[in-house]
Amino acid sequence: MVETSSRDHNAEAVIGHGGALKIGVLALQGDFIEHIHMLKKLGVEAFEIRKASELEGLDGLIIPGGESTTIRKLIDLFGFVPGLRALANRGAALWGTCAGMIVIAKELTDPYPEPLGLIDIKVSRNWFGRQVDSFEGEFAFKGIDGGPFLAVFIRAPVVESFGDSVDVLARLEDNGKPVAVRSGNILATAFHPELTEDTRVHEYFVSMARQAAASKSTAGAS
């Protein structure tokens, strides 16, 4: 940990009660370290998940940016599919960023990779074109206060269509295509909050995981 200066008051803001929250980041390939770094900034216990058995007991899981084709193949190769479905079904918070959004979608406009179908959205991959067309811009994000969010898009997808269960949290300004969506315990963003210094989307996800943990302990007590 080098950037001691950026460890700020956010930590106190999100550390809740009721024991330590456990959030994992799928660390098969991609920018998982950046997510871990953001979570640690918020004072959350964050774990690199490299084996399916490590999914047990997590209150939340982030599937990071990376190469969606690669991450999807590694999910199969290392036997993660049942564990990921179980995690989503038991109500733990799940967040896919960019490649992660593609992996958890219900449907893609491309024939492959075969998505996991955990959130009712249809996603178009590399919608903005190849790398030279990556860009960044500012967006309003529903449920997040404090002004617009700087979003970094890298060979990013967009949501083409979505089911009734899905709430749109952020859209592209020019054509209204959704780039951040939520359905219950599942969050998906086309962009990369982990590549900025702004921790607000991570705070949003941590509060989702906190809700998941709270309902788990309530269920356990009853």
Q: Which residues are catalytic?
A: 98, 192, 194
Token look-up 């309902």 returns 215
* Degrees to nearest 5, angle at CA 205 with 88 and 1: 115
**Radius of gyration (Cα) for the chain, nearest Å?**
16
Alpha carbon distances (Å) from 191 to 105, 136, 137, 140, 180: 15, 9, 10, 13, 8
Alpha-carbon span 213 to 38, nearest angstrom: 20
Residue 67 binds other proteins, judged by CB under 8 A: yes
Contact in structure between 24 and 35 (CB atoms under 8 Å): no
Residue 110 binds other proteins, judged by CB under 8 A: yes
Q: Which is nearer to other proteins, 110 or 160 (CB)?
A: 110
Residue 40 binds other proteins, judged by CB under 8 A: yes
Q: 60: which 2 tokens?
A: 């939340």
Q: Which is nearer to other proteins, 1 or 221 (CB)?
A: 1
Q: Which is nearer to other proteins, 23 or 213 (CB)?
A: 23
Residue 53 binds other proteins, judged by CB under 8 A: no
Residue 194 binds other proteins, judged by CB under 8 A: yes
**Residues comprising the chain, all counted:** 222
Q: Which is nearer to other proteins, 20 or 112 (CB)?
A: 112
Residue 52 binds other proteins, judged by CB under 8 A: no
Residue 138 binds other proteins, judged by CB under 8 A: no
Which listed residue (165, 197, 215, 219) binds other proteins by CB under 8 A? 197
Contact in structure between 127 and 155 (CB atoms under 8 Å): no
Which residues make up the interface to other proteins (CB under 8 A)?
1-3, 6, 27-34, 36-38, 40, 50, 65-70, 73-74, 77-78, 98-99, 110, 112, 125-126, 130-137, 152-155, 192, 194-197
